[in-house]
Amino acid sequence: MTAADLPAWFFRVFAFLWGAVWGSFATVVVHRWPRQSVVRPGSHCPNCLKPVRPYDNVPILAWLWLRGRCRDCKTPISPRYALIEAMYAVTALALIELLYRAQSEQALPVFLALFFVRFAFAWGLLTASFIDLKKLLLPDFITLGGVVLGVAANLLLPGIGWRQSLLGVALGAGIPYAFYFVWDRFLKREGMGLGDVKLLAMVGALLGPQAVVFAMFMGSMQGIAATLLARATGWKLAPDIDPADLDDDGGESISEKIVGLFSRLTGWKPAPEAPEDEPTEDDTTAAEGPEPLLRTMIPFGPFLALGAIEYLLGGDRLMQAYLSLLRGP
């Protein structure tokens, strides 16, 4: 049985509902990570702490029939929750539509596996973006987990193949790490963070080297445009970080463990961080006047993720058309 044996509307309805449910879960992850469990306690009103009833937890629709207020204490509920759920639902719908048009001849289990992998990838990119916009952090469980998922998917399912996947990981991690190294070692300030390095490795793992180049180019262009708009309007791209989200909790992240292992094996020592109470060059610059454009802090992850999603939704065809133009007739 192939996917073409079932009507297209079945997949569209399924994908929309699937995306909405996981969009609802994404709002919990964004709100609670990294200080709280994302599964316990269950959904509850942050004002009155009353549990959300199962019938009031229906994605998108619940906000409408509750008229944007808690059923118990009538505290307003931000419409962004319903909008985010709708965004994930529409993303899933777009993915299944493109997949159905291109690969409906695939056996149904393979077709569904391809959809689940692509949606998991898009879910990770969107969720990591919202976390980065809120906390200037990109979670390892999404980025490094996405690398593993991408390589495994290309090993087991139709796609770019595991060799292109590994090449994508190398390119996705190598190019941004070179920028990170130059900024950190020679300019003595933070530029592209290690979270962006892992995010692009995730992009390369599933979509290959061309997607890395596309995501970096489109992400940079869209990031520059957003930065110029922010400077012209006074809109803040970088969030006000809650110190509790950045304090050391006594444990090491996966990336810190890898750096520590590399340090022990090679004898290389990472540069020590400057004490918080000493003025830095950035502090001096801020005191003297407006921050230069190249020193403006922005969460770059969302723009890289946007470029990757654009590639997933059709950028690959744009890339192929561009390369064909370069080759000539």
Threshold 0.85, pTM exceeds? no
Domain locations in the chain as residue ranges: 1-105, 107-239+254-264+285-329
Q: According to the model, what pLDDT value does residue 286 have?
A: 42
Question: Which residue bears the tokens 């690969």?
Answer: 103
Q: According to the model, what pLDDT value does residue 177 have?
A: 77
Distance of CA 2 to the CA centre of its chain: 32
Cα–Cα distance for residue pair 74/92, rounded to 1 Å: 32
Q: Which two tokens stand for residue 155?
A: 């090993």
User: Using H for helix, E for strand and C for coil, what is the string for the chain?
Assistant: CEHHHCCHHHHHHHHHHHHHHHHHHHHHHHHHCCCCCCCCCCCECCCCCCECCHHHCCCCHHHHHCCCECCCCCCECCCHHHHHHHHHHHHHHHHHHHHHHHHCCCEHHHHHHHHHHHHHHHHHHHHHHHHHHHHCCCCHHHHHHHHHHHHHHHHHCCCCCHHHHHHHHHHHHHHHHHHHHHHHHCCCCCCCCHHHHHHHHHHHHHHCHHHHHHHHHHHHHHHHHHHHHHHHHCCCCCCCCCHHHHCCCCCCCHHHHHHHHHHHHHCCCCCCCCCCCCCCHHHHHHHHCCCCHHHCCCCCHHHHHHHHHHHHHHHHHHHHHHHHHHHCC
Q: According to the model, what pLDDT value does residue 265 have?
A: 46
Report the half-sphere exposure of 173 (CA within 13 A, side-chain side). Answer: 13
Is omega for the bond preceding 34 within 30 degrees of 0, making it cis? yes
Cα–Cα distance for residue pair 195/143, rounded to 1 Å: 8
Task: Go through 225-237 and write b for each residue having 16 or more CB atoms within 10 A of its CB, e for each that does not.
Answer: ebbeeeeeeeeeb
Sign of the torsion formed by the C-alpha atoms of 310, 314, 317 and 318: negative
Question: Which residue bears the tokens 């489109």?
Answer: 218
Q: According to the model, what pLDDT value does residue 95 have?
A: 95
Taking 70 as the pLDDT cut, the residues of the chain under it are 180-193, 236-297, 319, 321-329
Q: According to the model, what pLDDT value does residue 238 have?
A: 62
Contact between residue 200 and residue 175 where contact means Cβ atoms under 8 Å apart? yes
Cα–Cα distance for residue pair 199/217, rounded to 1 Å: 15
Number of neighbours of residue 322 by Cβ within 10 angstroms: 11
Cα–Cα distance for residue pair 293/178, rounded to 1 Å: 21
